[in-house]
Structure 1
Amino acid sequence: MFDGQVGDKRHLRSMMTRQKLLEAAKEIFLEEGYQASVISQMIKRANIGYGTAYVHFKGKEDLLIVLMENVMEQFYEIAETSFFPKSKDEARQIINNQAKAFLIMAEAERNMLQVFEQAIGMSAVISEKWKAIRLKFTQRISKDIDYAQQKGLARTELNHELVAKGWFFTNEMYLWEIVRNEHQSSVEEIAQTITSVYVEGLYV
């Protein structure tokens, strides 16, 4: 019993240390950008020992990957929206809401996404992580398209995996425009426009 309690306390302390380091890393990344950030700054900010820090993370790439997963999980929850439309109009409504929520999230997470964009361009490890995130999204979208095709709502001659990639890349392009403050139109207008083009091309 006593050993178990000690183990639980150690585990809790380890989790708290890890969280402190992630919070410190996020602050440093936002202040300095990816390139100028150094793990020693993060360890100092978290006020933990170097040895302890390196038990959890090998370097700043490791830290950023976890932060990336945390942020993108919010986006993925949007992609995971229940998708069982009974008509083209119902599909359009769900897809439009997803596209809008995705782009609103891009606005909300703009600062952190700016760090991710820098890192994707500089680190092969982070670039590979982004590809894995992208694949997770396209697989989910592909599943929804396949469902619509099976229900006779979408054109069956189209390859659902290719269509899914095209749809995600469209959303991703606007996500980066929002991150860079380059978008000329409102999120609502962008979502409505891309949804219309997508739905009219895919649905019958």
Structure 2
Amino acid sequence: MDKKGVETSDKRHLRSMITREKILKSAKEVFLEEGFQKATISQMIKKAGVGYGTAYVHFEGKDDILIVLMEDVMAKFYEIAETPFSPRSKEEANDIIENQAYSFLKLAEKERDIMCVLEQAIGVSPEAANKWKETREKFIQRILKDIHYSHENGLTRAGLNFELVARGWFFVNEMYLWEIVRGEQRAPVEEIAEAITSVYTAGLYKGV
């Protein structure tokens, strides 16, 4: 391909990316205004100012669009899970984990509107439900990695099934995440994070 052909291809790709982002932005606005079930692909296309054919080049439908939006939000949550973890004591581990739990739940508070849409979708869309299951497993495996680090450094109690511990810790955080999204939590995020971390680390780590 000559230079002119490359430039044309680059411009076409750039226009395609701009159109895709325009659709995503408009779709998010529609989801927030209408909720998942009432939102339609027609509303999104109209708001974005693109044709049906153009929209379906990028997405298969509103479920597909929501999953892309979901991935963007989950990336923010997963960044918290990727916090460097190399504690040398139970106290140090507790501090890191409590900060992670606080940041995780605080982000749920910040992203409450789109997370409300996501919760609606998980209940009615098999695609969204499966994506959430995949996301959950990714978090659990990351927690398990941190637990194994602690175990290899002699910080954990003996005789525990670490996979069950990792799953339990995620499910506790997940429960409070959805309570915060619904505005149902009974205490400030700081207090929730401190309480659940204290229980978790007391059960997992040696009392030294």
Match in the other structure for 1:135: 137
Match in the other structure for 2:57: 55
Residue of structure 1 aligned with 2:14, choices 12, 15, 30: 12
**CA RMSD of the aligned region, Å?**
0.6
Output the CA distance in 2 between the equivalents of 1:180 and 1:44. 30
Write the mapping of 1:10-49 to structure 2, written as runs, cut at 5 A: 10-49=12-51
Output the CA distance in 2 between the equivalents of 1:37 and 1:156. 51
Deviations 1:68-98 (A, max 9, x none): 0000110000000000001110000000000
Match in the other structure for 1:112: 114
Secondary structure of 2:155 counterpart: coil
Q: Which amino acid aligns with 2:131?
A: K
Output the CA distance in 1 between the equivalents of 2:87 and 2:171. 23
Pair 1:70 & 2:78 matched: no
Deviations 1:138-161 (A, max 9, x none): 000000001100100112421221
Secondary structure of 1:35 counterpart: coil
Moved over 4 A (4+): none
Match in the other structure for 1:102: 104
Match in the other structure for 2:124: 122
Q: Which amino acid aligns with 1:100?
A: Y
Match in the other structure for 2:149: 147
Output the CA distance in 1 between the equivalents of 2:26 and 2:137. 29
**More deviation, 95-104/158-167:** 158-167
Q: Which amino acid aligns with 1:124?
A: P
Output the CA distance in 1 between the equivalents of 2:17 and 2:156. 46
Match in the other structure for 1:197: 199
Output the CA distance in 2 between the equivalents of 1:34 and 1:95. 33
Deviations 1:106-161 (A, max 9, x none): 10000000000000001111100000000110000000001100100112421221
Output the CA distance in 1 between the equivalents of 2:124 and 2:64. 14
Q: Which amino acid aligns with 1:121?
A: G
Structure 1's unaligned 5+ residue stretches are none
Output the CA distance in 2 between the equivalents of 1:12 and 1:155. 54
Secondary structure of 1:134 counterpart: helix
Match in the other structure for 2:161: 159
Q: How far off its partner does 1:10 sit?
A: 0.6
Output the CA distance in 2 between the equivalents of 1:136 and 1:114. 21
Report the identity percentage: 63
Structure 2's unaligned 5+ residue stretches are none
Pair 1:187 & 2:160 matched: no
